[in-house]
A and B are shown apart, each in its own frame.
Chain A
Amino acid sequence: MSEKMHMELKVWRQAGPGQPGRFVTYDAPGVSPDMSFLEMLDLVNERLVEDGEEPFAFDHDCREGICGSCGLMINGQAHGPERATATCQLHMRKFSDGDQVTVEPWRAAAFPVIKDLAVDRSTLDRIVEAGGYITVATGSAPDANLIPIPKPVADASMDAAACIGCGACVAACPNGAAQLFTSAKLQHLNLLPQGQAERWDRTISMVEEMESFFGSCTNHGECEEACPKSISIDFIALLNRDYVRAQLKQRRLAGQSFP
């Protein structure tokens, strides 16, 4: 039904980790406006296979915007031009016939390129392993309705927990900082009554783990802009508050007194 579009793609090609990369230009005719961005890449890749050229690698899986696998810099914007939309949910009707589209991997020191457009984001897992959980041995939980949680608290926790771990916040940040990701996980747990017992230790370990890989936050706000789930930058403020309080508590435990 809809007119086909003719695009030109500039795609980052890199054979492997630590190897030199470069942009390669591909002609992409016959693009339907109803295709998702990833389906457009599938189409180009399919033609590359026909022509005997190795297709470019990119991570993707659910294609419903929830698994967090996909993530591309599209014309310099993390996940492309549509707000609150992961790459897989972006559709070609947001582009115009004849557009040149530059496609790059996430660029961040903590996310080394694996190949072409695929990067290694396991540093985000390391942050969670450092304390992004509530310790509860299986089987030891009390009845679920034992602790009432005010709805606004549960809702705020859920707002933070909606993070899909795609890494767009890091890619969009001029400093390559992971504050939005870390604060979202931290506040998901720190806001809840169940999360209080480990709150201060969790805050310090996660922040320190984060700082061993990622840059520092200087409040640019690009992360919130790029986030496909519109996670609020307010969570970073809460992280900073909790971090300062955690530091004070730690020193008090070490025998120093504070007014």
Chain B
Amino acid sequence: MTLDSRIPPGPIAEKWDSHRFSMKLVNPSNKRRFEIIIVGSGLAGASAAATLGELGYRVKVVTFHDSPRRAHSIAAQGGINAAKNYPNDGDSIHRLFYDTVKGGDYRSREANVHRLAQVSLNIIDQCVAQGVPFAREYGGLLDNRSFGGAQVSRTFYARGQTGQQLLLGAYQAMARQIALGNVELHNRTEMLELVVKDGRTAGIVCRDLITGEVFSLSAHAVVLATGGYGNVFYLSTNAKNSNVTSIWRAARQGAYFANPCYTQIHPTCIPASDDFQSKLTLMSESLRNDGRIWVPERGDDDRVAGQIPEGDRDYYLERRYPAFGNLVPRDVASRASKREVDAGRGVGPMKNGVYLDFADAISRLGAPVIEERYGNLFQMYERITGEDPYKTPMRIYPAVHYTMGGLWVDYNLMSNLPGLFVLGEANFSDHGANRLGASALMQGLADGYFVIPYTIGDYLAPLLGEKPVPSDDSAFAAAETSVHDRVSALLSTNGTKSVDHFHRALGKVLWDNCGMGRTEQSLDKALSEIPAIREEFHRDVRVLGDGESFNQSLEKAGRVADYLEFAELMCLDARHRKESCGGHFREEYQTEEGEALRDDENFAYVAAWEWLGVGREPTLHKESLEFESVQLATRSYK
């Protein structure tokens, strides 16, 4: 099957406008004759549900959360980018487009990114009108700040809780549609299978997480907006329940999975404190503006930080990158910390971190200035570690944060399965091999508010008059049986080890071999170890309780089972991509300065994988990336 990205013809700045005109429309009174299922209630899912409900479609929203407002978008801190150019500092749609393509290390699709930059303007308008309390200047107008990878200030923010406020805006707009009866909410419900019939997406099979009932929902189209798969590493900054299940279930039905190896590692997180650590907490990277990163010269130096004299410290970023020092890009900073810790110079009780030291800044600027700049972060750090960063240096270490890969979609955000749309972090389309800060929120809302409402109509219009496949059709019955079988297999294995045991084991293999640095050898190792863990999981996992009630171990077991299949694809993709780009760093391919070395001649394409079964080699489909508006260049921030 050839991959048709359906990029509209014409100059980049006119593609979206001309496409909007050429797409088919569903007239207002006919919209209620179409049913749409949306899975996920984060920024992308909630904004899509609110908008499609408002347009008159009959929408069902499925979320495993108790309330749609809990979706992990809520945890985003920093902000949302938009090319408003309010600060008059040289921003434009084209510059946001350019920065995003470059930041993604030239592995994203130009046309999608340009549309994202265009609709970024509408997002801010929409959110302000909804009552999102963005930060403001004293004159009452909106404030902006700068963020990594850009030389302009284009980031809008609501304290350190931008994701929360944007999600509440979308959730409230959706709540209004729920009250009006346009959107039907299925909370505490998990999608466990995608149903495809006669080449079209027909619906999904779900499990009611409270009663255990397995049931089918059918519709004319299914929209997946279920976020990323960073938790495949077990430890990440993602919420505990974030998972790959819905997109993996779709991949098993034939949806192509694109660029699964593109994962983003954030340099400044609080390191794990013990083996029972359940997740990692991000500390804003703005801390690197005033903190100095160092480790002791000698790995066996047991003195507390304050007693180690200057001569026995290695400020390795300042030493290796004198021009940028502590402000090198995320991926460079992350890899440098890993190198020190791997060499045995890590600090802290588990020797798994590096120091981020504010002593110089405090003596230069005074504690009150530092408190004003970072007070809330220092407080959060102290709450978690019990250490006072005004007195002793912070300990930080990189952690998995975001996944750029996801299901393959065309320009209309439709996967290769007709009628299956994928939005937000769950798709692959906009961030290439590396996402810039404050761009995830922008993409989620762009997809949900301003892209899918147009493009879904183009798919639905020709289906007018057709009923969805009934949910008692044999295709649904077969999918329900498969869900029942999986659930009972997990419950009846009756082994000796907990689900978390296997998840931690998988996470360690991936972190060690498919993490910040990857090599042919490490990936071979991972690929030989993952099937063994998977096999042991299915033989020896212990899931207690039953399938007819609220059973969190069972939920977790299903998700980990899917991770154990998906992880293999991720490593295969990483092994096949013999170049370094963005978050994918193959140690064999680097410049003399240790920067990522791309191979545009051989790898300027999207790798879209067709899954063929457990233990079978997946088929690779390539969508070659054409760069017409941005010149391919070596990414340099020096």
Contacts and interface: CB of A to CB of B under 8 A. Distances in A.
Interface of A: 1-2, 15-16, 32-36, 38-39, 42-43, 46, 49-50, 52-55, 57, 59-64, 66-69, 82, 85, 89, 91, 93, 114-115, 118, 120-122, 124-125, 128-130, 132-145, 147-151, 154-155, 157-158, 161-162, 164-165, 188-189, 192, 194-195
Given A60-B240, A129-B176, A145-B142, 10 more contacts: A61-B65, A62-B72, A63-B279, A67-B72, A115-B550, A138-B450, A142-B125, A161-B168, A189-B131, A195-B131
Given A32-B276, A139-B450, A158-B133, A91 B139 contact: no
A49 B277 contact: no
B392 interface: no
A66 B74 contact: yes
Given A68-B69, A194-B129, A133 B172 contact: yes
15 contacts: A34-B274, A42-B276, A54-B545, A57-B552, A62-B70, A69-B65, A69-B70, A91-B384, A122-B187, A125-B67, A125-B175, A144-B128, A145-B86, A158-B159, A194-B131
Nearest to A92: B386
B449 interface: yes
Given A61-B239, A93-B386, A36 B544 contact: no
A139 B179 contact: no
Identify the interface centre among A2, A55, A69, A121: most chain B CB within 10 Å of its CB: A69
Contact of A85 (B84, B86, B383): B383
A59 B66 contact: yes
Contacts of B173: 133, 136, 138
A66 B392 CA distance: 27
B136 interface: yes
Interface string B530-565: 000000000000101100011111000000000000
A132 B66 contact: no
Interface in B119-176: 122, 124-131, 133-142, 158-159, 161, 164-165, 168, 171-173, 175-176
Contacts of A67: 70, 72, 74-75, 239
Interface string B185-205: 101000000000000000000
B70 to A, nearest CB: 5
A151 to B, nearest CB: 5
B624 interface: no
Contacts of B241: 61
A67 B176 CA distance: 21
Closest 4 CB pairs of A and B: A148-B140, A141-B129, A133-B172, A1-B349
Given A144-B124, A145-B86, A134 B139 contact: no
B453 interface: yes
B67 A121 contact: yes
Identify the interface centre among A67, A124, A138: most chain B CB within 10 Å of its CB: A138
Interface in B48-64: 50-51, 54
A33 to B, nearest CB: 7
Contacts of A55: 544, 552-553
B28 to A, nearest CB: 13
A128 B135 CA distance: 24
Main secondary structure of the interface of A (DSSP, over half): loop
Interface in B375-399: 383-386
Contacts of A129: 175-176, 178-179
Nearest to B129: A141
B172 to A, nearest CB: 4
Contacts of A39: 276-278
A42 B500 contact: yes
B281 interface: yes
Contacts, number: 213
Contact of B161 (A66, A143, A144): A66
B590 interface: no
Interface size class of B (residues with CB under 8 A): 35 or more
Contacts of B176: 129, 133, 135
B75 A141 contact: no
A67 B168 CA distance: 11
A61 B70 contact: yes
A35 B137 contact: no
A57 B519 CA distance: 41
B135 A154 contact: yes
A69 B450 CA distance: 29
B133 A157 contact: yes
B5 interface: no
Given A66-B74, A136-B126, A130 B179 contact: yes
A230 B273 CA distance: 28
A258 B122 CA distance: 43
Contact of B274 (A32, A64, A134, A195): A32
Contacts of B92: none
B158 A136 contact: no
B346 to A, nearest CB: 14
A164 B138 CA distance: 27
A150 B140 contact: yes
Given A32-B274, A34-B273, A150-B140, A54 B130 contact: no
Contacts of B125: 141-144
A93 B175 CA distance: 40
B498 interface: yes
Nearest to A124: B67
B116 to A, nearest CB: 16
Interface in B492-524: 498, 500
B60 to A, nearest CB: 16
A185 B176 CA distance: 14
Contacts of A63: 239-240, 278-279, 281
B210 interface: yes
Given A67-B75, A122-B66, A53 B544 contact: yes
B66 A121 contact: yes
A82 B278 CA distance: 21
A249 B190 CA distance: 45
A134 B276 contact: no
Nearest to B546: A54
Given A54-B544, A93-B386, A46 B498 contact: yes
Contacts of B279: 63
Contacts of A149: 136, 140
Contact of A134 (B54, B129, B281, B449): B129
Identify the interface centre among B86, B135, B278: most chain A CB within 10 Å of its CB: B278
